[in-house]
Amino acid sequence: MLCSKMEGALNSQINAEYYSSYLYLSMAAYFDSINLLGMANWMRVQAQEEMVHVMKFFDFVAERSGRVTLTSIDGPPTDWASPVAAFEAALTHERHISSLINKLVDLALAESDHATNNFLQWFVAEQVEEEATADGIVQQLRLVKDAPGGLFLLDRELSQRTFVPPAATP
């Protein structure tokens, strides 16, 4: 069973994960509007991944006899100065989510909630991957700078990303 403090923190994280999905959909719309459809695709897939995260938290709270309480989601930005600015914002956001996950781990340890700590370790590893992926794209965008050919090649590469639901955990 979850203590009320942990339940509240996990509910806050559910909201943060919903916001993440909303943010990436907004970024997809931005990329659609400037005809970088591969980058739009990448962001749509990212939005789907964030919804998987939402449901992992949602299901975990329910499994621990907690109560999921959904709250309103803030509206995300809708425009960025450039593709690199959008991906820099995505990287900054992933770093923020990592800090939230780390605070949840700290709380789980402080509360001696070993089940929640164990659950959160998947997210700790996931955030390492999320940050590395976003950072890699930012670095590539910075390398191509104002070279349209490089931008279009990267856009084509990002169009190949597909959503793959995570394997069920035993």
Q: Which domains, and CATH codes, for the chain?
A: 4-70+82-158 (1.20.1260.10)
Cα–Cα dist 35/26, whole Å: 14
Cα–Cα dist 126/120, whole Å: 10
Classify 51 in phi/psi space as left (phi over 0), alpha (psi -120 to 50) or beta. Answer: alpha
Cα–Cα dist 158/76, whole Å: 22
Classify 75 in phi/psi space as left (phi over 0), alpha (psi -120 to 50) or beta. Answer: beta
Q: Are 58 and 14 in contact (CB under 8 A)?
A: yes
pLDDT tens for the chain, 170 residues long, are 899 999 999 999 999 999 999 999 999 999 999 999 999 999 999 999 999 999 999 999 999 999 999 999 999 999 999 999 999 999 999 999 999 999 999 999 999 999 999 999 999 999 999 999 999 999 999 999 878 899 999 999 999 999 988 776 65
Quote the pLDDT of residue 169: 60
Q: Are 71 and 15 in contact (CB under 8 A)?
A: yes
